[in-house]
Amino acid sequence: MKKLFCLITLFFLLTGFSGCAYVNIKTPYDTDLERTALGSKIGKSEYYSLLWLVAWGDAGTEAAAKNGGISVINHMDRELLAVFFGLYVKSTTVLYGD
């Protein structure tokens, strides 16, 4: 009985905290992905957060367009990297265009 209780507890802990130790996701900001023309230029902008205490950077669309020399935006993606409940977070805006 004790072994079964330990297994059930372990199961709920692993499923309840899934994605808390390491998260690396990429999300498109477009609803019609089949018709998206990316363009010839890519621009990125980032912000960082550390220990839930400090954050720095500019992950805005304007900063990404400026970094990539983009004047016409065709598509945008968002990348997120988070480690151990957000102790370290890096968020990146990726623009595609001309």
Tens digits of residue pLDDT in 21-65: 788 889 888 777 677 778 889 999 999 999 989 999 988 889 999
Domain presence at residue 2: no
Domain presence at residue 53: yes
Domain presence at residue 14: no
Decide if pLDDT at 6 tops 80. no
Domain presence at residue 4: no
Domain presence at residue 63: yes
The domain in which residue 25 lies consists of 19-97
Q: Is 78 exposed, middle or buried (0-12, 13-18, 19+ CB in 10 A)?
A: middle
* Domains: count for the chain: 1
Q: What is the model's pTM?
A: 0.74
